[in-house]
Amino acid sequence: MILKRLTLLVAIGSILLMSCSENDPLPDPGPNLNATIVVEDAEINAAFTDTDNVVLIALQANRLGFSTEGNFFGDLCDDAKVTHFPENKRIIVDFGEGCTSANGITRKGRLFINYTGMIFFPTASVTVNFQEYFVNGVKIEGTRVTTNKGIDLNYMTMSFEIKMDNGKLTWPDGSQSSVTISHNRKFFLQDQDMRAEVTGSSSIKSRIGVDVNSEIYYPLVFVQTCTNSGNWIPSEGISVISLSQSFVFQVDYGQGICDREIQVRLEGETITLTLD
């Protein structure tokens, strides 16, 4: 899930190198820097997607989520402890000194989940804070708030607003990223295969000091049968990433196939990549 072996690292660097010239408004800082930014953006998104998944598992296990049946601990390691304090409307997920899930995600530390009510009720909110919390060696800090924005009975969808204004990630080498996130997630309730669409944007001060903006141009789509297989790459959608408001490229996730291929477009060049 954490995209730590991306073949994107080399491929993006190559395409950026081919696309730059002496007349570019933004001087080419070299393929390694640009590739690092791409991987960083992917790892940040994956880390917070993992957090949302852990929170949903904890809510469902305590009959506060979408469903009250089934095995909700499939992606948590055996040593993880989920403790519910209903009188305080709080759940604590404790991974202790670190453990690895069946999908290969190593988590350490604690998540504090405060909720106002059952998450499927309109206006209900969930606030997540992190205590010495690490995902695959990356420390996550900040406050992440998810709010139920209501149900559309015509289309049978449930929408959630996700906000994070003070996100901070510290990497194993000591470098840091700061992130602001404003996303909306829509669940399609009548689909036999649970489907979610994500829209919105994020702003990052990267670990190498570059300002990065990532905007979802067409909704990123996740389907349950695909994510259940361990593939957290969107099945479709397009995002646009800009560096320092000058350098822009487009990432296309396809048209609904559960695979790991994306197309990256930059200044007329297109390359198909397979994410590991």
CB of 105 closer than 8 Å to CB of 136: yes
Spell out where 88-232 has E strands.
Answer: 90-94, 99-100, 106-115, 125-135, 138-141, 143-152, 157-170, 176-188, 195-205, 211-223
Q: Is 127 or 194 the better-scoring residue by pLDDT?
A: 127
Q: Is the dihedral of CA 64, 114, 129, 132 positive or negative?
A: negative
Residue 23 pLDDT more than 70?
Answer: no
Q: Can you give the pLDDT at residue 273?
A: 74
Helix extents (H) in 183-274:
224-227
Average pLDDT over residues 233-247: 83
Phi, psi of 243 (to 5 degrees): -110, 120
Residue 20 pLDDT more than 70?
Answer: no
Q: Can you give the pLDDT at residue 168?
A: 97
Q: Can you give the pLDDT at residue 10?
A: 35
Helix (H, G, I), strand (E, B) or coil at 193: coil
Q: Can you give the pLDDT at residue 19?
A: 38
Q: Can you give the pLDDT at residue 249?
A: 80
Q: Model-level pTM?
A: 0.80
| 46-55 tens-digit pLDDT | 788 889 888 9
Read off the tokens for 257.
């196939």
Residue 192 pLDDT more than 80?
Answer: no
Q: Can you give the pLDDT at residue 147?
A: 97
Q: Can you give the pLDDT at residue 18?
A: 34
d(CA 12, CA 2): 18
Mean pLDDT of the chain: 81
| 25-47 tens-digit pLDDT | 443 434 445 556 767 877 888 78
Q: How far is CA 15 from CA 32, 38, 177, 227, in A?
A: 12, 12, 25, 29
| 64-86 tens-digit pLDDT | 765 533 334 457 888 899 999 99
Q: Can you give the pLDDT at residue 33?
A: 55
d(CA 257, CA 262): 11
Amino acid at the residue 2:
I
Amino acid at the residue 176:
Q
Read off the tokens for 35.
């590739």
User: Pick from 11, 2, 8, 1: which is nearest to 275 by CA?
Assistant: 8
| 95-118 tens-digit pLDDT | 999 999 877 789 999 999 999 998
Q: Can you give the pLDDT at residue 112?
A: 98
Rounded to the nearest 10 degrees, what angle do helices 31-61 and 8-19 cross at?
A: 140
Q: Is 183 or 248 the better-scoring residue by pLDDT?
A: 183
